[in-house]
Structure 1
Amino acid sequence: MKNYSKLILNKLIDKYEKSSLYKGDNKVNVNIYFKFNKKELPNYYNELEFEYKENINEECINLENKDYIKIHWKKYQENNIIEKVKLNIEKLDEIYNYLNRVKKSSLEEETINLLNNYLYTNTWIDEFLKDMIKLLKEKRSVKKYLDIENQNLIKDLIRGVIGVVNQKTEIPKRVLSIKLFNDSKKLEKIENKIKRIMIDYGNFNPDIDVFSESNVIKNPTYIYLKGKGILKINNETIDLEKLNGEIGLSSSLIEKLEIKSLNVKKVITIENLTAFHFYNVNNELIIYLGGYHNFVRRNLLKKIYDFNNKLTFYHWSDIDLGGFRIINHLREKAGILFKPYLMDKKTLIKYREKAMAIDDDKYTKELEKLLSSDEYKEFHEVIDYMIKNKIRLEQEGILNFY
């Protein structure tokens, strides 16, 4: 049989630690009650097992004799059916000892001291740490980000955030995990918690892989190029035009790449690999970026821009929510004014028979948000058409005709 004494006392302490009484901001006298009902104590109401009720009553009477609680019996059911019990605040220290439970205030103080050790990173992380410390001092919840009952996890989270944010070159996730924790899988286990902190405090886009943007990757990044241009890597010259096809360069080779000649009309970055492969080159440099921007992609684009900042840069994505977000993210992070390529209303209408239906209300609402944002002003016309006609167009739909 359960230890109902501890169960009931723990329920009362849980209520107390969440109350205004604990926080110290109660303006009226507050009492902490645990109400008996079928949801909280189903066995108490089991008419076929009377011993449960008798046992619980006996345990509550013992707690009342210790002066830990005050029993409120149901009207006309004295010593038979309990309606609720009230916590005796004056006996809190004894109750914590009886339960062998650490006070929430002690855990909060321990967490504050721990977080203070990581302050002064000179990044947005300081803002996060200060916010958590402020909430803890005010006895408010930090549960969304931190579990104060698990100090080791808090240490790992803070070390993980600092490690990911400060990663300046590409590194596989498991390698960074070993570097930070001597455990190749630990970073992956706390990845979602780290990402939540980065998104909420670090101004990271929630629609992208923030680890990849911070150079923490699952596998090494490759960027694919084709078209026209002469490159040099480790004293080896690569003439893209003579290759008559695409070439994939790893992040380490991108670091060493030099641009020797770029006699093209425009540079086009492409979202999807299939679209990249089937795109017919015409005096252009075509780059497959593979989705959202990160350090390696920015490094290559910067080299191209620095070589010739008079070039016109285009980006081609799907005519959908993700596509619009990708081009804006690319502009913001690369610092280059990319023009949209085949992402307008005219293109959508032209290939409408290959468009896909939008049947998700949540997706439509996200599109509607873009209509109220000046960031996406140039896409408002096509977005409005998408919403009214409930359609979107993938790049592959254009390739059938392009």
Structure 2
Amino acid sequence: MNYKHKIINYLLDRYEHSANYRGTSKRSVILKVNSKLFPSYWDDSSPDFRNSFHLALKELTAQNAISYSWNKHAIGIEVDKITLSLSNIENVYKIVDRTPKSSLEDQLRSAVNQWHHKLPLWCNEFIEAMRAALDSKTTLPIGLKYESIELLLDIFKLLTSLNSNDVIPKRVISSKLFGDSKYIENNLEQKLIKLLRKFHPLTNFNNENEELLGLVGISSNADHIFLSGPLTLKYLGNLLNLDFFKPDVGVPSSLIAEADIYELRAKRVLTIENKTTFYLLASKENTDTLLIYLGGFHNQVRQKFLAKLWASAPNIEFAHWGDIDLGGFKIFQLLSTGSGVPIVPYKMDLETYHTFYTHGQEMTHEYMSKLKLLLNSEEYLVFHSLIREMLVKRFRLEQEVIPL
């Protein structure tokens, strides 16, 4: 064991997490020699460890890296405390060949500044959170480490290569960008999920991981649109009658994009945000409603599909059922404006909210501030009364708690 490296790295870890490093205190950085950090030091059957440990301390003292003191009841036998030499901190890092945290901060700050304007607009909040953490020398968002520069650069590379209007299988984009079909899955996905859950404006607290990836156009497999109800498609001269598929069927988005609407026998088309709600509705006897599961996907394929359905049956109702929250409202708005279809909200109204809001999640002040901003936009006029009531009651409501 390299005792010198272990001692110095313990001290540097403590220093980099200290108020002294952040510039808010001038207290010394001290390491107590205890059985938790150095169990062998207190093991009488391992005298060689203590001797080697003391020798390492003497050498580090000679290098002006530390100072240390003895237990006053066992002078020359038991070390009590080790103090880091802050006046010689640059050389201390060199002793263990460790990159100073300040250098790592500079690298991260440079990466953030370089990529900021290349990233999707929704990343702005994450960028500001990164800058705030770097400026205050505190914990980075989404569990990033200061040594995670390569990981962060790969996430930036991935996000700038995606188009949320298209869907690409995870392993395809992984192979294309990184030369390894499982690289995203093994190295980036966990942090990407945290990033999306925390910062993407369309995320909801109940989103599954697959739905979150769908927000940026990544699918686990080939993209499918799940449908249930009275619809017949025509593709390459063949008819596909959805009535034969119970309770639902997943149709490849590539087929949806090229197929024609042969016959829509529904009185209403209902897009659904939540998977559980979709399957429960699809499992019920249904002869007059075409159900479309969206999940995290609201791209152009789905928007154009809605437009084709509307063109074939402009007199029937088109509705969307989503969560009564920030993400649900934004998905409704994107579907409506992106498709050009006069979509109306379904069970996203004051009556539904008043009945079930106590089953929802309490909103934070930060969340309420974001929700309040929608009151400044005419695009969300249909929800303004509901939003005002939500700001009073302070609850948001997920789709699953609302009966079918």
Q: Shared topology, TM-score over 0.5?
A: yes
Matched, 1:42 2:43: no
Matched, 1:304 2:309: yes
How many angstroms apart in 1 are the aligned matches of 2:325 and 2:132? 38
Return the offset for 1:262. 4.7
Corresponding residue of 1:132: 130
Change (3 A) 1:111 1:325: closer
Question: Which residue identity does 1:154 align to in structure 2?
Answer: L
Corresponding residue of 2:344: 337
Corresponding residue of 2:144: 146
Q: Which moved more, 1:323-332 or 1:70-79?
A: 323-332
Write the mapping of 1:251-266 to structure 2, written as runs, cut at 5 A: 251-259=253-261, 262=264, 264-266=266-268
SS in 2 for 1:86: strand
How high is the TM-score relative to the length of structure 2? 0.72
Change (3 A) 1:310 1:330: farther
Matched, 1:226 2:233: no
Number of equivalences = 354
How many angstroms apart in 1 are the aligned matches of 2:180 and 2:235? 35
Question: Which residue identity does 1:227 align to in structure 2?
Answer: P
Identity %: 23
Corresponding residue of 1:279: 285
Return the offset for 1:193. 0.5
How many angstroms apart in 2 are the aligned matches of 1:56 and 1:286? 74
How many angstroms apart in 1 are the aligned matches of 2:113 and 2:38? 42
Corresponding residue of 1:19: 18
Matched, 1:196 2:194: yes
Contact 2:202 2:330 in 1 (8 A): no
Residues 263-289 of structure 1, C-alpha deviation per residue, up to 9 Å, x if partnerless?
6432345744475265241xx242242
Return the offset for 1:35. 0.5
SS in 2 for 1:70: strand
How many angstroms apart in 2 are the aligned matches of 1:61 and 1:40? 19
Corresponding residue of 1:369: 362
How many angstroms apart in 2 are the aligned matches of 1:365 and 1:16? 46
Contact 2:266 2:290 in 1 (8 A): no
How many angstroms apart in 2 are the aligned matches of 1:125 and 1:96? 34
SS in 1 for 2:147: coil
Question: Which residue identity does 2:360 align to in structure 1?
Answer: L
Residues 181-210 of structure 1, C-alpha deviation per residue, up to 9 Å, x if partnerless?
222111112112012112222223242221
How many angstroms apart in 2 are the aligned matches of 1:10 and 1:244? 66
SS in 1 for 2:115: coil
Contact 1:272 1:291 in 2 (8 A): no
Contact 2:270 2:319 in 1 (8 A): yes
Corresponding residue of 1:116: 113
How many angstroms apart in 2 are the aligned matches of 1:119 and 1:393? 40
Corresponding residue of 1:361: none
Residues 44-84 of structure 1, C-alpha deviation per residue, up to 9 Å, x if partnerless?
11123233223322321232233322212112322121110
How high is the TM-score relative to the length of structure 1? 0.73
Corresponding residue of 1:387: none
Write the mapping of 1:154-173 to structure 2, written as runs, cut at 5 A: 154-164=152-162, 166-173=163-170
How many angstroms apart in 2 are the aligned matches of 1:131 and 1:330? 24
Contact 2:22 2:136 in 1 (8 A): yes
Change (3 A) 1:366 1:136: farther
Contact 1:4 1:59 in 2 (8 A): yes
Question: Which residue identity does 1:156 align to in structure 2?
Answer: D
SS in 1 for 2:139: coil
Return the offset for 1:156. 0.9
Contact 2:321 2:345 in 1 (8 A): no
Return the offset for 1:100. 1.3
Corresponding residue of 2:2: 3
Gaps of 5+ in 1: 346-363, 384-390, 396-402
Change (3 A) 1:338 1:259: farther
Residues 108-165 of structure 1, C-alpha deviation per residue, up to 9 Å, x if partnerless?
212222222212136122442343234324433326443332432221121123334x
Contact 1:160 1:180 in 2 (8 A): yes
Matched, 1:33 2:30: yes
Question: Which residue identity does 1:369 align to in structure 2?
Answer: E
Which of structures 1 and 2 has the bigger CA Rg? Answer: 1
Contact 1:147 1:154 in 2 (8 A): no
Contact 1:224 1:287 in 2 (8 A): yes
How many angstroms apart in 2 are the aligned matches of 1:44 and 1:314? 70
Q: Which moved more, 1:55-64 or 1:89-98?
A: 55-64
Corresponding residue of 2:177: 180
Matched, 1:88 2:89: no
How many angstroms apart in 2 are the aligned matches of 1:368 and 1:143? 23
Corresponding residue of 1:359: none
Question: Which residue identity does 2:22 align to in structure 1?
Answer: K
What RMSD in Å do the two structures reach over aligned CA positions? 4.0
Return the offset for 1:168. 2.1
SS in 2 for 1:223: strand
